[in-house]
Amino acid sequence: MRHIILRTLKKIIMGCFRVLLCIIFPPLAVIDKGCGSIIIVFILTCLGWIPGVIAALIINNNPKN
């Protein structure tokens, strides 16, 4: 039972960390999603911070990745 609680707590903490990373520096938040995602988020971040954040949040919340 304790193992399940710790695993769930770890997922929650990592999710919060990823959201914070999406807000602070979007390309770094998608570094494990592939080169294409990094390039897309980097370009959108260069065009404007908010589009980069939105793209990073969408890519991180995509269940396919």
The pLDDT score that the predictor gives to residue 2 is 85
**pLDDT class of 65 with cuts at 50, 70, 90:** low
pTM: predicted TM-score of the whole model, two decimal places: 0.83
Q: For the chain, what is the domain count?
A: 1
pLDDT tens, 9-52?
999 999 999 999 999 999 999 999 999 999 999 999 999 999 99
Domain residues for the domain of 31 are 2-60
Cβ neighbours, 10 Å, residue 63:
4
DSSP 48: -
CA–CA gap between residue 47 and residue 52 (Å, rounded): 8
